[in-house]
Structure 1
């Protein structure tokens, strides 16, 4: 579809982890978008299954390899599935103290969400820590909110003003969307917009008119629990506009944490089919098999119970599990 912009998802829910990390390359620049990956520490009352740890190890490897090539690394917001922290954590983030983050950010141009404005308390703190730790290795560390950066002869990376992490009043704060443009081609990266639920965010996406977009869908698994069901419906309605707008949509993240996500998004796929557009997961875009491991966690523990050594590790405290790699 895009002749001059190469897009390679590296980690995502359809690849068995929480992430939207993607490598993008144009003739002018190599970009690593949101270089973070994590696992949910507790889903269905269970820690990650050994298969999830194998998946995050593989994703970390891909991210590290892409980081070696990248000129630019972006941070849309400071959740750990979107940037890599510098502390040791083998439970959720699969990070070695200092080293994992250093390998990603060292000598890079890091374009990040403003850690002081349009940000909630948790991410403000994480943003401050990032600047003192992983960010200190960067060649340049620059706030990207609302800015456009030019590279080479024809590449632009355009960042949105901060948009809500879901609904307008989201307690989760704000994120940046990014559009990589080369001549008349556009790839848009819209992490954690959750549909988008926000109509203002939808308007920004429509204004960009990307030929390819990777977007975080609404959190179906939280409907009626932590997210209002009408907001979920709004996110799904917005997705119908998005798939009608863009010839190819990579749908990822929160939506795919629901084991029945495909049935709940039937209207999205039908809308795309009617206009001759495609909706794919990151795995499908890569030509790989979907592995929705978090959504399948309860079933995985029942059908593929872990060895006794892993069960013993499961009974340790959270702090102990962060300090000791699981026996997988």
Structure 2
């Protein structure tokens, strides 16, 4: 198995866009990418916009070569309506989707309907993958039941994915926002993967959209994952990397990982690239000084 992280927060955008190559199937997970419309009261900087365009092109090239595309939920940093990434990536592909009718909030139900109308005549087939197991040759893909997008189901539901090619095992959590709920970590513990890419909590919105108690649970549950699963690599990404102080917020997790010999990396580090935390440091791109509490409460978190 070869895992290639294409677009993530550590690469300068909002995304969890991932290409997985196995001998039986070329898989693309969540071919979408976006930017925070406002952060620190500021719009995207031109450097962020250029990076978005670069990575959208890379997503297009990789997704076009894939055979199987997975959409874990219908936020715009996880799927695209053809605005940034041409829809021909779906031509003759098997499309595996989060159930668009059940365990879904109103916003995502509308978005899924729009998206499926755009791609239904392009794809080879559409598979609803919630709580399913698929086997292709020696490849096994296990999809979780629909799980809340973080602690609050009002943001909708996502599906996690476990991929086993009999040589390596890989788990993609999608947007579980730090796994604050037992059902989030139950799937991870049952799967027991070698490599996990995990969406961390919204620590940049601590006290606004993330209660202190939910951060505490995320820390405890991530430590439990490290203790019980002991993955070789934990790629910590997405929401948590919008916070310039993410390592301090997750200090206990980093300490436990060191104790258990689990490597915690960003997607960029996994790929041998330099981190580009463009959103977390947007104020610097505009030549501003950061003032604690001055902007965070105005952040636009809608995806």
Same fold (TM over 0.5): yes
Residues 54-65 of structure 1: pairs in structure 2 closer than 5 A: 54-65=50-61
2:186 is the alignment partner of 1:186: no
Task: Write the distance in 1 (CA, Å) between the matches of 2:244 and 2:120.
Answer: 36
How far the C-alpha of 1:150 sits from its partner, in A, is 1.5
Partner SS state of residue 32, structure 2: coil
The residue number in structure 1 matching 2:278 is 293
2:215 is the alignment partner of 1:219: no
The residue number in structure 1 matching 2:7 is 11
Q: Among residues 89, 106, 110, which one is paired with 1:125 in the alignment? A: 110
Task: Write the distance in 1 (CA, Å) between the matches of 2:188 and 2:124.
Answer: 31
How far the C-alpha of 1:293 sits from its partner, in A, is 0.4
2:145 is the alignment partner of 1:161: yes
The residue number in structure 2 matching 1:53 is 49
How far the C-alpha of 1:220 sits from its partner, in A, is 0.3
Please list the CA deviations of residues 101-135 of structure 1 after superposition, one character each: whole Å capped at 9, or x if unmatched: 41321211110000000000000000111110134
Contact 1:16/1:292 (8 A) holds in 2: yes
Q: Among residues 261, 268, 283, which one is paired with 1:283 in the alignment? A: 268
Contact 1:217/1:239 (8 A) holds in 2: no
CA RMSD, aligned part only?
1.4
2:199 is the alignment partner of 1:203: no
The verdict on how the C-alpha distance between 1:8 and 1:228 changes in structure 2, with shifts beyond 3 A counting, is: same
Q: Among residues 254, 258, 264, which one is paired with 1:269 in the alignment? A: 254
Residues 297-308 of structure 1: pairs in structure 2 closer than 5 A: 297-302=282-287
Contact 1:67/1:103 (8 A) holds in 2: no
How far the C-alpha of 1:144 sits from its partner, in A, is 0.7
Task: Write the distance in 2 (CA, Å) between the matches of 1:75 and 1:236.
Answer: 27
Consecutive unaligned residues of structure 2, counting only runs of 5 or more, are 289-303
Task: Write the distance in 1 (CA, Å) between the matches of 2:14 and 2:48.
Answer: 10
How far the C-alpha of 1:82 sits from its partner, in A, is 0.6
- Structure 1's consecutive aligned runs of 4 or more residues displaced over 4 angstroms after TM superposition are none
2:24 is the alignment partner of 1:28: yes
How far the C-alpha of 1:184 sits from its partner, in A, is 5.2
Contact 1:19/1:81 (8 A) holds in 2: yes
TM-score when normalising by structure 1: 0.85
How far the C-alpha of 1:279 sits from its partner, in A, is 0.5
The residue number in structure 2 matching 1:256 is 241
Partner SS state of residue 226, structure 2: helix
How far the C-alpha of 1:298 sits from its partner, in A, is 1.0
Task: Write the distance in 1 (CA, Å) between the matches of 2:234 and 2:121.
Answer: 35
Contact 1:197/1:234 (8 A) holds in 2: yes
How far the C-alpha of 1:49 sits from its partner, in A, is 0.6
TM-score when normalising by structure 2: 0.92
The residue number in structure 2 matching 1:42 is 38
Task: Write the distance in 2 (CA, Å) between the matches of 1:258 and 1:6.
Answer: 29
Task: Write the distance in 2 (CA, Å) between the matches of 1:57 and 1:103.
Answer: 17
Task: Write the distance in 2 (CA, Å) between the matches of 1:198 and 1:85.
Answer: 31
Task: Write the distance in 2 (CA, Å) between the matches of 1:136 and 1:45.
Answer: 41
Partner SS state of residue 137, structure 1: coil
Task: Write the distance in 2 (CA, Å) between the matches of 1:209 and 1:61.
Answer: 33
